Amino acid sequence: MASGEPSTSEVPPGAGTTVGGKHSKRKSDIMSLDYCTFRVPYNELNVKFRNGQKDLDRAAASVARAANLLTKKTAGATEPQAKEALQKNFEFLLKQVQEARAAMQKVLKEETEEADKIIRRCHMLQQEQQVNEDRPKRIDRSLEKRKFARHICWHLLRCGMIVPAKKLVAEMKMEGLVDISIFEKFYEIEQALLDKDTKPCIEWCQYHRHRLRKIGSRIEVVARQQDIATLVEEQNIPEALAYIKKYFVPITKTQFPDDLKKIMGSVAMPLEISRMRNKELHAENRYEACYEFFIKEAYRLYQLPEHSAFSSIVQMGIAAQKTAMCEPDTKTPTNKQRCVVCRPDIWPLAEGLPNARSDGNKILCSLSNTVCNDEDNIPYLFPSGHVVGLRAINAGLRRANHKVYDPMHKQEIMEEEALRMYFM
């Protein structure tokens, strides 16, 4: 009927689970619960490194060209060159060197910031994962609170709630621990696509071009299809053909030939026929579909899971308490309901989740931590939701007039309010 938890005496110090909690100290917990905390800055560091190398290569090429111009002007000279004749070339070379130096400093600064962010987060998680018996309890509670605030913040960002996430970060002093800027960019692209503007999305695709090409993403193809479809709808065929030749053919000719054939067909055939054969290219909600596809590909780029850690934890907690008898209870007041799953505000989350299945588990007394049974330590469920064994009740919780003291709510309750639990 009820699922128990192992006795704390059976749990070795530092043991862990994969869903967090008091004994969550395994490395697998970091991988499952704090994956976003490391994956996002690592990916940003990787992108900035590659783009930085391209910028440095271009700067080095510019310096080499300026040096070659000066060398050609002085090569083979038998007499000293006039200062005025070489001044322009020296100034051009100096300008290119200064630009190369500025590019190098910019790249170094950006990469150092991302690397420092990863190191800072490593120290933060190390502090949270350490088992320190001498550390004050208030510090442990503060670290635990910050950890769950971080999970909530990631979930808010996934839901597009940027402003509440910023407030939570400021209140919990988590600056540098959550990558809000990434999701701000997602939100900016969403608003642009809803306004039928693909430019921010295409710029994002070009910035992440190497990684998107590596994972075989079609997001740039889909974004540019919207621009072509708009030109076709406006019957601006020459402009559509020029756009296809300049932007669409280079990204689809080898990887996505079917998309190229489809878009060329929509340009070649009459508009009415194209609307019948290529409904997705002319659908009214095609920009909304483009945004949904962009979010899917962005998560795939950063290798983010489909559900956030907070969402998974909540669903696992609800599913662990859901039984076949659970249903929404609209008659009992919310503050008097004893099953969290049956609450009307919780049931929509629990409706599609599987029922809990427990085999061979034990019910423990919340006070004495002893195993309950059907003989001398019968389990009773208090209104607070805690299970107390008969031994603990007889040891000091009974009061006069058939009352029992509830140590969790710190008040006396009638004996019939403590419900007996049965083993099935």
| pLDDT digits 0-9 by tens, 73-122 | 777 666 777 777 678 888 888 888 898 899 899 889 988 888 888 888 88
Percentage of residues of the chain with pLDDT beyond 90: 20
At 324 the pLDDT is 82
Query: Crossing angle for the helix pair 180-194 and 137-158, nearest 10 degrees?
Result: 20
pLDDT band at 303 (very low <50, low <70, confident <90, very high): confident
Residue 302 has pLDDT above 60, yes or no: yes
Half-sphere exposure for 231 (CA within 13 Å, toward CB): 18
pLDDT above 70 coverage of the chain, percent: 90
Q: What is the pLDDT of residues 243-278, one digit of tens each?
A: 999 999 999 988 898 989 989 988 888 888 888 888
- Binned at pLDDT 50, 70 and 90, residue 156 comes out as very high
What does the pLDDT look like over 326-363, one tens digit per residue? 888 888 888 778 788 888 888 998 988 988 876 667 78
* pLDDT for residue 16: 38
For residues 158-163, give the mean pLDDT. Answer: 89
Question: According to the model, what pLDDT value does residue 8 have?
Answer: 36
Candidates 137, 185, 156; CA nearest to 301 is 185
pLDDT surpassing 50 at residue 4? no
Kindly report the pTM of this predicted structure.
0.66
Q: Share the mean pLDDT of the chain.
A: 83
Q: What is the pLDDT of residue 20?
A: 46
pLDDT: is 296 or 87 the higher one?
296
Q: Is the pLDDT of residue 23 over 70?
A: no
Amino acid at 400: A
